[in-house]
Amino acid sequence: MELGTLLLIIVVPGVILYIWYAKLISRRNAAREALSSIDVQLKKRHDLLPNILKLAGRFMTHEKDLLEGLTALRARVDAGYDPSDPAAVQAHLTAGQELQSGMARFFAVAENYPELRSAETITKAQDNFTEAEAHISAARRFYNAAVTDLNNAVEIFPGSMIAGWAKVKPMPFWEMEDTSHRAAVNVDDYLK
């Protein structure tokens, strides 16, 4: 066998493996960047919550459990996590989703407090919160697209073998909670 042919047999597969490896790493980094973008948006929402809850606490004296629950959820979202651990990422995203659902309940309950609804500060805060949620939604779409690319590269052969060697793992999607099976929220249930 000629030296050129032997070199070709060794170099070409090596180059192909390196290109595939580089694509896996760049897709993992894109997914991590998208996750970081979500964290930035969650931080913005996180910073809005104390003022909203303090103001609401003045008017919503009967809603102490709801307000304390939101404060606890805020702390869970703010807790650190390992972005390279899919389970930790999933727990972080789930906490963010629970906080979003809790705030939706909060704003539904707040509708029964006319003095709270008429407060310009809470109206402005609610508008800012709605804007932050829109940004989170956009970041979630970007993240899920990056995760799709990564997971496809990790799960399809030969990427699955290369990913195992490189310790690149699939990342979880950030899926919205399925609300089709739930009944509509009755605000009166929260005011008893």
Question: For residue 15, which amino acid is it?
Answer: V
Instruction: Read off the pLDDT band of 143 (50, 70, 90).
Output: very high
Answer whether 143's CB lies under 8 Å from 35's CB. Answer: yes
Other CB atoms within 10 A of residue 187 CB: 13
Answer whether 103's CB lies under 8 Å from 126's CB. Answer: no
Q: Tens of pLDDT along 174-191? A: 876 654 444 554 445 544
- Looking at the chain, list the stretches that DSSP marks H as alpha helix, in order from N- to C-terminal side: 3-59, 64-78, 86-110, 114-117, 120-155, 159-166, 187-190
Q: Tens of pLDDT along 92-133? A: 989 988 988 888 888 777 777 777 666 677 778 778 888 988
What are 178-185's contacts with CB under 8 Å, separation 24+? Answer: 185/105, 185/108
Which comes out higher in pLDDT, residue 22 or 45?
22
171 — alpha (psi -120 to 50), left (phi > 0) or beta? beta
172 prior amide bond cis, ω within 30: no
User: What does the mean pLDDT of the chain come to?
Assistant: 83
| Measured distance CA(111)–CA(73) in Å, rounded | 21
Other CB atoms within 10 A of residue 114 CB: 9
Answer whether 76's CB lies under 8 Å from 69's CB. Answer: no
Per-residue model confidence (pLDDT) at position 104: 84
pLDDT exceeds 50 at position 26? yes
Per-residue model confidence (pLDDT) at position 24: 95
**What is the average pLDDT across 31-54?**
87
Per-residue model confidence (pLDDT) at position 180: 46
Q: Tens of pLDDT along 43-77? A: 888 888 887 777 777 666 667 778 888 888 888 88
